[in-house]
Structure 1
Amino acid sequence: MQLQTNISNNFAISPFNEYYLPSINRHTFESIDSRTIYNKKFKQSFASQDKLNIVVGLDSGLLANYILEQDMAIGSKFIFVELDEVLPLLVIDIPSTQEKHVKIVNELEFIELLKKEDIQLYIAKGKYEVYASLGASSLHLDAYTTLLNRIENKIQDEYFNYSISFNQKIFFQTQLENIPDNKTPAKILKDTFKGKTCLIVAGGPSLDEHISWIKENNKNIFIIAVSRIAGKLAKNSISIDIITCVDPQEFSFDVSREIFTLSENTLLVNSYHICPKILSQWHGQSVYLGQRYPWSDSNDHDNIITVGPTVTNSSIRLAIEMGFNRILLSGVDYCYSRSGYSHANGTVEANLGPSLGHNNKWVETYAGYQAETPIQLIHAMDALTDEVKNYPNIDFINLSASAAKIDCISHMTTNDIVLDEFGSKKKPKSISNEIEENRKILVLSLNECNEKKETFNKVLKLTKKALVLTKKLSSNTLKSKVIINKINNIENKINSEYSSASKIIKTYGYFEFSKFLTTRETEIWTQSYINKMTIDYYEAFSNICHNILKLMTQACEKVEFRILEIDSNSLTQLAPTWSENNQPGRAVLWYKKKNEITLNSNEEKTYSNLKDKFNEDITQVRNDYIKILESASSMEHVYKKIMGLNSNKNNYGLSLTVQNLLPLIESDNEAKRLYHLALSFQLSLEQQPQEALDVLLALPEDLCTEMELKHIILLALKLSKLELATANLVKILAHSDEYMPQYAHILKLQGKIQESVNVYLDYLEKYPSDTQTWIKLGLFMFEINQVEASHTAFSNAINADPDNQVAREYLAELTRLMNTPQ
C-alpha cells in the first residue's frame, strides 16, 4: 500500500469564510485568517521596492489574493509558480491594472518568463528572492519541495549567467575609482623567479592540514596568499611574500580585513577593479593587474592580466607570469570538506559552522570520493583547466587529496615534496614610494581623466542631437529617410572620431544595448517599429554616456583629492572626505607620511575618531555579511536539501548531511529532527527498512512533523506492522483529514469492518466530492456483500463526477445484479 498525499479538488471553508484546499494547506487557516498569517510572515519582505518576488505555491489562491489586495511596492513584481495539478483547481482574477506586476504560471511557463528582459534585469542585479508559500513550506508535499529546489537551482544558474555581463558595470566603476591608487603595473614582476618553487595559499578547508609544513618550510618557498587567508597565516607566524585581492564587491573588505595587520613589507597584488575600500587604505606597497584606465593606455597594455572567476585563478596566472616552474597549491580545494565546511578554520565562514543548506553540484576529489561545490567553483575549475594545460613545462601540484580533481594538476602529499634552498633574493622588486614620484603620477592621471571627460562630453552632445532628431521620425517614409540620413551621419562621426569612447559606452551599457538585438525578421519591420528602436537606442546611448561622465567627474575629483592629501598639512581640510568615502584608514596613512606632524587639539580628536573607526572596520565583520552567510545554512534550506537528495536517491549526499548534522543535535531541535529524517532516508535507500523505522521511532514525539509520521507509516506497512501503522495514522489525522481513507483501509485489513466503514463515511460526509473514495467504499461494500450500500456509494461517485466511466460501469453491473431474480 502507498501512503500518498495527493492534491485533491476538495475545498474546505475556514471559520473566516476563506476557501482552501486541505490537501495543500492542512489546518493552517482554521485558527487564524490568512491575512494575519501573511502580514506576519511576508509583509515586510514583500514591501521591498524594485524587487522580483518569486513565490512557489499559491496557498489555494489565498496568497495571490493577499498580494492583489495590497499596495504594490514601487518597481516590484510577483511571479507565482504553481504545480500543474493545482492550477486547474483555482480561479484567480488578476485585474488588468496589475497584469504587468503579477504573473501566475507553471514551471515551464516560468522558464519562458526568465527570457524576458525585465525579469533578466532583476536577476542580473540580484534584486530577487524565492519564497515558499505556507503550503510549499509545510513539509508534507514532496512535489512542492522538489519544485522549490528546481526553481532555486534554475534561478541560481540564471543569476550566474546574467550577472557576468551585467556586473561589467562594477568592474568599470571600481576601475575609475581606483585610478589614483593604482600606480605601478604588476608587469615589473614578470620572470623574476625563474626556476623557483611557489606556494599559492587559498582559503579552502584543506589548508589546515598543511599549516605546520608551510611554517617549517617558510624560508624555502615563495608564498602568494589570497587576501582572505593572509591573516590566518600571519597568526601562525608564517611570512607572506605577496597578497592577492581581486573582488570589486564591498564584502571583499569584510573577508580581507586582516591584511591590514600584516607587515608593510608584504606586497599587495591587486586587480585594477579591487574593492576601493581595501586599496585606498592599504599601508604597504601595491602593484595592479590589468589596465589602470578603461580606455587603451600604452603604459600597461602588456601588463599581467586578472583572470577569473576567482582570486585563486588570478594568483595562479601571476605565479606563471613570475616565472615559477613549480606551483604548489594549498587550500585550493574548489569544493567543500567532507564535514560540510567551505573554508579553513578561523575564517568568518568556518566560524559560522558547516554550509549545510546550499544546493550544490558534485565533483570528484583526488582521494576518489565525491564532494559538494557551488556552481561558481565549477566555472573556476573549468577556467583553471584551460589555463594550466597551456603550460606543460610547469609542475602544478595540489597538496590536498580532498581537493577537487583538475586535469593537468597532479596531487602529492607534503611528505613527497622536496624543496631546494630558495636563496637570499626572495623579495619581489622594490617599488618606488617617493612622494614626489607619486605626485607626478597623480598629475598625469588628472590630465588623462580630464582629457577623456572632454571626449565623453562631446559624445554626449552628439547623442543628444541624434535623440532630438529621432523624436521627429514619423510613419512618412520620405521624411524619415532624410532624418535617418542625418542620424547616420552623427553615428558615423561618433564611430570614426570617438570610437574608443563609443566602445566603452557600449561595453558599460552591454545590458541596455542587448535589448536592441531583436528576433524579428527584418522584412516584417514596420516604419514605426524602426522609429521606436532608433529612439530607444539613442536614449540608452545618451543615458549611459551621461552616467559615465558622472563617474569620470568623480574620478577626477578623487585624483585631485589625492594631490591635496600630499600638499595639505591640515587634517581638518581632509577628514570630511575620508569619512564621506568610508576610508578612515587614509588618515593613518597621511599622518605617517607627514612624519607625524603636530596636530591641534581638535585635529587630534578627529584623528583619534578616524583611527578608532578604521580599527573597528578591520576587526569586526559587518552584520550584513554574516546574515548572508547564515541564511544559507538555515534549517529550512537544509530540509529542502534533504528532500532533494532523497528524491534523487543520492545516498552519499544524505550520509554526508547526516554526519554534518550530528554535532548540532544536542543544541538544536530542528537539526535533531532533520538528522533523524535524513538518516532514515539513507537507511531506506540502503534497503534497511527496519533500521530506518527505528531511527524515526527514536525521535521524540513532540519533534515529529507530518513528514516523519508519514514515513513511519510507510515503513511500518512495508514491514507488515499494522498496529504501528494504525497508531501513527491516528496521529497524522491531526495534520490532515486526507489520511482518513488510508486509515479506513488499514482498519479493514485488520478486520475492523464497522470501524473502517465509519471512518470512510465520516470522511465522505466532509468531502462528498471525492469520487475516488466513493468508488473505494463502493468496492468495499460489495466485498462484504452490502450490495445496496455499494449501489449508494457508486451513485454518489457519479453525482460527484457524472463522467466517471469506472463508477458508471460498476453501477450498471450492480443494477443488473440487483434486478436479477435470485
Structure 2
Amino acid sequence: MTAMTLTENILSTNKFGDTYLYAINRGTFDKISANVVFETTFSKSLLQEDTLNIIIGTDSGLLPKYITEQGIPSGSRYIFIETQDILDTLNQHHLLGDFPTEIACLTADEWLEKASDFKIDQYLYIGAVKSFNSICAQQFARNEYAELSWTIKETLHTLHWQHNAAIGNESFIIRQLENATDNLLPAGLLKNAFKNQTVIILAGGPSLSNILPWVKQNRSKLTVFSVSRISRQLVANGINPDFVFSVDPQAISTDYSKEMFQFGSDTIFIHAYHVHPRLLNQWPYTSLYLGERLPWKSIINPENLDSIGPTVTNTALNTAYFFGFERILLAGFDLCYTKEGITHAKGSNEQLAGPKYKLTSLQVETYNGEKRPTGQDFYTALEVLSQQAEIITADQRKIINLAPTAAKARTIEHIPPEKIELTEIEIAPIDIVAKHIPKVSDTDLKEDFEALTTELKKALHQISNIKKLANKAIEINNRMYNKEGLIENYRDKRNLDIIEKQLNRRYKVHGNLVKRFGLRNFLKITAPHKSDWNAEKAKDVGLVYYQSYLTGAKHLIELIEDTLQRTQTRQEEQKNNPNFTMLFTQWNKDQCFNRARIWLKNHPNTHLPEPIATEFESFSEKFDAFIKNDASKRYAQNRTVSRLPDVKARALLLLKHKKNEELHDLLNALTIDDKEPNKASYLKLISAFIAEIEENYDIALGFYDEILNYENSPLLEEALLRIALISINQQNNENAFLALECLSQLSPLYLPFYAESARILGQLMIAIDSYNAYIAQFPNDTSVKLKLANLYLENRIPDAAEMMIDHILEQKPDLPAALTLKKIIAEQKQS
C-alpha cells in the first residue's frame, strides 16, 4: 500500500475551475489559480518564439492547457514528458484535451522520436532548445519526475554539445582572433618527435589522487602530460609536468588552471587556438597551439594538429599519438564518478563543492567489474576515447589505464601502476622540443608580426566592403516592397541579386567567415516551422538576412582592429625603450598583467624611470593577486542552495529498485558532505531504507522514530508513511493506526487508509468520519464511497448504506459493484 495506490485517479476542482489530480499537484492550486501560478513561476520563458520546449510533467494537463490558451508562439513547439500511468489517467479523465499539433504529451520512451519530427536538430543549431520542470516535477510529486528530469537534461546537454561542435561556436572565433598574435608556434612541429617513448596523461578524475605518489616516485622515467585544471594538485605534490594542456575558451578556466603559472620553464603549454587568452598571453615559457591561427584561409595557417573533444584529455591523447609515443598511460581519466558521487580528484573545485546527488541511472563498467554512475558528457567522452583507442592501437601503439575504477574503454587495458616497467628517460622532453623547435629570434618575431598584420588588414578591407554591401542591401530591401509586401521596383530586385553575387563570389572567403561567425542569426531565417513565409513577410526575411551580415561584419571588424592593436603592442614590446603608455593600456585591457614581468625578463639591462618602474610593480602585484585569489574555496562556499531534496529523491528511487549498495554509497556521500548542515534526518532516512532492504525492520522503525523527533523535519510524511507500511506488513495494527492518524492530518490523501485502519481496530465512528471527510473533499471518488457503503453494511447500518449507494447510482446507474450492493442491502433489510 502506498499513497498513490488509491488516490492517483482522484480529481480535485478549485474555485477557479481548475481540475487536477490531487495526488500530483496536492495543494498547489487550492488558493491560487493555475494560470497565476504558471505566470508567476515561468513568466514569459515558456512563450518564446522559434523555441522547442521540453517539459517534465504536465501539472495534470493544466500546463499545456495554459500554453494553448496563451497562444502558441510563432515557430515554437512543446513536448511534455509524463509517466505512462499518469498519461493514461489524464486521458481517462479527458484532461489532455485536443491540444494543437504544436503540443505533444508523451512518455520518456517516445519523446526523442517526436523531437525529431519537431526538427530538434534545427532548434539546436540556433540554440533554441529549452528544458523546464512543471510545478509537480519541481516539487518531486513523484519519484519518477526526479529521474526523468536528470536523464532528459543530461541527454539535452549531450545533444547541445554535439550540435555546437558540428556548426562551430562563435566564441571560438572570438578567441581565435584574440589569440592570433600570441599563437606563434604550431604543435604540429613535434610530429613523431617522441617515437618509441612512454607518456603518462594526468586528468582530473577521482582516481588521480591514488596515482600521484607513484608518478612522483617515477618522475624521471616518465614524460608527463597534464590537463591544466589539476595544476593545483600537481604543485601540492611537487610534480612539474613536461606539457600542460588547456582547450577551454571560458573565463572560468583561468580560475581552475592558474596554478600552472607556478610550473618551471621546462613545462610546455599546449593549447587549442581558442583557449582563454589570460592563460596564453601571460604564459612566460614556450607554448604550442592546436588548430588554425586565423579563422579564414591564409598563408600563415601552417599544417597543424587539431584539438579533439569533448574533453581536454581526449585532446591530450590525440596529441600523444601525433607526437609518436609508443605507450600511453592514463591516470585520472575515469569518465565516471566515485560510488559517493564525487566527480573529480581530491583538491579540485568540484570535489570541494561536495558529492553530486543528481545522478541518472546511466552507469558504466569499470576495469574491476564494478558499475559506476556517470553523466552524459563523460559517457560521450568515453565513446570518443574508445574510437581514438581503436585507431591508435591499430597503429601498434599501446594505451593503458592505471586505475581499476576507471570506465572500461575498447582496446584500452588496465594494468596497475606497480606492474608498469619503466626506464630512465635519456633525453629530457624539453631538449627534444628544442631540437624540433628552434628558439624564436627577434627577427623571426618581427617578420611574423608583419605577416600577421598584412593578413589582418587584408581581411579588414574585405569585411569592411561586406559591411557596406550589407548596409546598401538593407536600404534597398526597405524600399523595395509596397504595403502589401509585393515588389514594386524590379530594378531594386536586380540590384539585390548583384549584391548577393558579390557576397558569394568576390567576397566568398570572408563572406563565409561572416556567416560562420553569426551562423545562428542566419539559421534563424530558416527557423523550424517557418515555411509559411508569405509575401507580406518577405521584407522582414530580407532584413533579417542582411542584418545578420551587417551585425557579423561589424563585430568581426572590431575584433580584427583589436587584434591589429594587440599585434602592434607586441611589436612595441620588442623595443628596449617602447611606448610604455601603449603597453600599459593593452595589458590592462587584456588583463595580461604578467606581461610586465615577461618584458622585464626580456630586457634585463633597461633602466626604467621611477614612475614607469612603479607601474611595473603594480602589474606584478595584480598578477600575484590573480594567482593568490583562492577561487576554489569561493567555488565551494558559493554552494548555498541545499541539495537535500535531490538526496531524498535519489534515496527513494534506490529504495524502489532495492539498490542497497548504492544506498550505502549515498549514505557515505552525505556523511562526508560538509556543505549540508541540516542533513541529520536525511542520514536517518537513508539508514532506514538500508535496514528495510536488509529486512531489519525494527532497526528501520528506530531510525524513522528518530526522524519524528526532529523539529520541523521535512521528512516527517515520508517517515510516517514508511512506519505505516512496515506496521501493516507486520500486522501491528495499533502502530499503523497511529502513523496513519498523523498522516491524515498532514494530507487528506491518507484519510481512506486511516479509515481502513480504524475499521480493522473496530473504531467504527473514526472510520465513518474519516471516509466522510475524504468524500467531502473528493466527491468523485466512487471507490471510497463503495468502501463506506460496505462499512455501513458490515456494521448493519443498511439505511446509511442505501443512501450512499443511491447517491452513487445517481451518477453511475449501471455500475455493477453498486448494483450488487443494492441487492445485498435489500436482503439485509428483509432479514
Q: TM-score range by the shorter chain?
A: 0.7 to 0.9
Map of 2:229 onto structure 1 = 228
The yes-or-no answer on 1:731 pairing with 2:742 is yes
The yes-or-no answer on 1:805 pairing with 2:827 is no
Partners of 1:293 and 1:282 in 2: CA distance: 20
What does 1:64-103 correspond to in 2, within 5 Å?
Answer: 84=87
Give, in angstroms, the shift of residue 737 of structure 1: 1.6
The yes-or-no answer on 1:561 pairing with 2:569 is yes
Give, in angstroms, the shift of residue 293 of structure 1: 0.6
Give unpaired runs (5+ residues) of structure 1. Answer: 71-75, 93-98
SS of residue in 1 equivalent to 2:746: coil
Single out whichever of 230-239 and 409-418 deviates more from structure 2.
230-239
Map of 1:444 onto structure 2 = 451
SS of residue in 2 equivalent to 1:429: helix
Match of 2:726 among 705, 711, 715: 715
Give, in angstroms, the shift of residue 792 of structure 1: 1.4
Partners of 1:264 and 1:558 in 2: CA distance: 25
Give, in angstroms, the shift of residue 695 of structure 1: 4.5
Partners of 1:581 and 1:360 in 2: CA distance: 44
Map of 2:679 onto structure 1 = 671
Distance 1:373 1:366, change over 3 A: same
**Contact 1:357-1:633 at 8 Å conserved across structures:** no
Partners of 1:462 and 1:455 in 2: CA distance: 11
Partners of 1:148 and 1:355 in 2: CA distance: 15
Map of 1:743 onto structure 2 = 754
Partners of 2:611 and 2:53 in 1: CA distance: 50
Partners of 1:812 and 1:11 in 2: CA distance: 29
Single out whichever of 780-789 and 377-386 deviates more from structure 2.
780-789
The yes-or-no answer on 1:408 pairing with 2:405 is no
Single out whichever of 438-447 and 587-596 deviates more from structure 2.
587-596
Map of 2:73 onto structure 1 = none
Map of 2:215 onto structure 1 = 214
Map of 2:505 onto structure 1 = 496
Distance 1:624 1:294, change over 3 A: farther
SS of residue in 2 equivalent to 1:182: coil
Match of 1:786 among 797, 805, 808: 797
- When the two chains are superposed, the root-mean-square deviation of aligned CA atoms in Å is 4.7
Give, in angstroms, the shift of residue 470 of structure 1: 4.4
Give the percent of matched residue pairs that are identical in Structure 1 and Structure 2. Answer: 25
Distance 1:673 1:414, change over 3 A: same
**Contact 2:8-2:21 at 8 Å conserved across structures:** no
SS of residue in 2 equivalent to 1:10: strand
Count matched residues.
800
The yes-or-no answer on 1:8 pairing with 2:17 is no
Partners of 2:281 and 2:169 in 1: CA distance: 21
- Amino acid of the residue matched to residue 373 of structure 1? T
Q: Deviations for 1:533-573, whole angstroms, at most 9, x for unmatched residues?
A: 55543343333333333322222232223333334645444
SS of residue in 1 equivalent to 2:11: coil
Distance 1:340 1:732, change over 3 A: same
**Contact 2:209-2:346 at 8 Å conserved across structures:** yes
The yes-or-no answer on 1:577 pairing with 2:580 is no
**Contact 2:154-2:376 at 8 Å conserved across structures:** no
Give, in angstroms, the shift of residue 198 of structure 1: 0.9
Partners of 2:704 and 2:155 in 1: CA distance: 33
- Amino acid of the residue matched to residue 731 of structure 1? C
Partners of 2:188 and 2:15 in 1: CA distance: 73
Q: Deviations for 1:268-325, whole angstroms, at most 9, x for unmatched residues?
A: 0111111111111111111111111111234444212111111101111111111111
- Amino acid of the residue matched to residue 305 of structure 1? D
Match of 2:548 among 505, 515, 540: 540
Q: Deviations for 1:599-652, whole angstroms, at most 9, x for unmatched residues?
A: 555445543443233222223244898279847982233333334445566555
Give, in angstroms, the shift of residue 655 of structure 1: 3.8
**Contact 1:357-1:635 at 8 Å conserved across structures:** no
Partners of 2:737 and 2:613 in 1: CA distance: 78
Partners of 1:596 and 1:612 in 2: CA distance: 22
- Amino acid of the residue matched to residue 514 of structure 1? L
**Contact 1:782-1:790 at 8 Å conserved across structures:** yes
**Contact 2:187-2:304 at 8 Å conserved across structures:** yes
Distance 1:167 1:127, change over 3 A: farther
Distance 1:774 1:597, change over 3 A: farther
Give, in angstroms, the shift of residue 236 of structure 1: 1.8
Map of 1:755 onto structure 2 = 766
Give, in angstroms, the shift of residue 395 of structure 1: 0.8
After TM superposition, the score normalised by the length of structure 1 is 0.84
Partners of 1:674 and 1:273 in 2: CA distance: 44
Map of 1:197 onto structure 2 = 198
SS of residue in 2 equivalent to 1:171: helix
Map of 1:271 onto structure 2 = 272
- Amino acid of the residue matched to residue 593 of structure 1? N
Map of 1:513 onto structure 2 = 522
Match of 2:461 among 454, 468, 486: 454
Q: Deviations for 1:742-776, whole angstroms, at most 9, x for unmatched residues?
A: 10011112232232112222333444444332222
Distance 1:485 1:620, change over 3 A: same
Distance 1:442 1:721, change over 3 A: farther
**Contact 2:195-2:324 at 8 Å conserved across structures:** yes
Distance 1:321 1:141, change over 3 A: closer
Distance 1:599 1:217, change over 3 A: same
Partners of 2:328 and 2:187 in 1: CA distance: 19
**Contact 2:339-2:662 at 8 Å conserved across structures:** no
Distance 1:182 1:361, change over 3 A: same
Partners of 1:805 and 1:693 in 2: CA distance: 42
Partners of 1:504 and 1:323 in 2: CA distance: 34
Map of 2:704 onto structure 1 = 696
What does 1:610-689 correspond to in 2, within 5 Å?
Answer: 610-622=619-631, 626=635, 630=639, 634-646=643-655, 650-664=659-673, 668=676, 670-682=678-690, 684=692
SS of residue in 2 equivalent to 1:327: strand
Partners of 2:773 and 2:830 in 1: CA distance: 34
- Amino acid of the residue matched to residue 405 of structure 1? K
Distance 1:589 1:67, change over 3 A: farther
Single out whichever of 655-664 and 644-653 deviates more from structure 2.
644-653
Partners of 1:27 and 1:583 in 2: CA distance: 56
The yes-or-no answer on 1:418 pairing with 2:421 is yes
Distance 1:480 1:673, change over 3 A: farther
Partners of 1:346 and 1:45 in 2: CA distance: 41
Distance 1:542 1:137, change over 3 A: closer
What does 1:46-125 correspond to in 2, within 5 Å?
Answer: 84=87
What does 1:212-611 correspond to in 2, within 5 Å?
Answer: 212-359=213-360, 361-391=362-392, 392=394, 393-427=396-430, 428-430=432-434, 431=437, 432-471=439-478, 472=480, 486-517=495-526, 533=541, 536-567=544-575, 569=578, 571-595=580-604, 597-611=606-620
Partners of 1:375 and 1:719 in 2: CA distance: 42
Give, in angstroms, the shift of residue 140 of structure 1: 5.2
Distance 1:198 1:653, change over 3 A: same
Partners of 2:638 and 2:338 in 1: CA distance: 17
Single out whichever of 557-566 and 172-181 deviates more from structure 2.
557-566
**Contact 1:664-1:672 at 8 Å conserved across structures:** no
Give, in angstroms, the shift of residue 377 of structure 1: 1.4
Q: Deviations for 1:697-732, whole angstroms, at most 9, x for unmatched residues?
A: 454532333223222222322232222221111222
Distance 1:250 1:240, change over 3 A: same
SS of residue in 2 equivalent to 1:229: helix
